[in-house]
Amino acid sequence: MIAGGLAEAPARQRLGVRLHAMLCRHCRRYARQMRAIGTAARELLARPSGEHESLERLRKALLGRIEPPL
């Protein structure tokens, strides 16, 4: 929860976690690291390289299996 899974927790639990985070530097550090990892992983996975050639090959192969529209 401290790492961001609070959205669906009961309000009382969310408040308790937030209060704890205000007092516990270790948990704040853990949450900060987890958020940074999420951001960096998102950027890394969103930009694979060398897709263009693959897409062209795939497009040719797959569209060739579909009869052209009338």
Partner 1 sequence: MAVAPAEALARTDLAAAVRGRDPAVLRAIVEDYLPQILRAARGAGLSAQDAEDVTQETFTTFLEIAPRFEGRSHVRTFLFGILCRKIAETRRGFARQRQHDPIDDAMESRFKTDGSWMRPPAAADALVRLDEIRRFLAECLETSPTAQRMAFFLQEVEGLPRQEICKILEVSATNLDVMLHRLRNRTRECLEAKSVGGSP
| Interacting residues with partner 1 (CB under 8 A) | 3, 5, 24, 26-27, 29-30, 32-34, 36-46, 48, 50-51, 54-55, 57-59, 61-63, 65-70
Q: How far is the CB of 29 from partner 1 (least distance, A)?
A: 5
d(CA 68, CA 42): 38
C-alpha to C-alpha distance for 33 and 35, rounded to whole angstroms: 5
Q: From the CB of 37, what's the least distance to partner 1, in Å?
A: 5
Residue whose CB is less far from partner 1, 10 or 50:
50
Supply the DSSP string of 4-28, one letter for each residue: STTTTS-HHHHHHHHHHHHH-HHHH
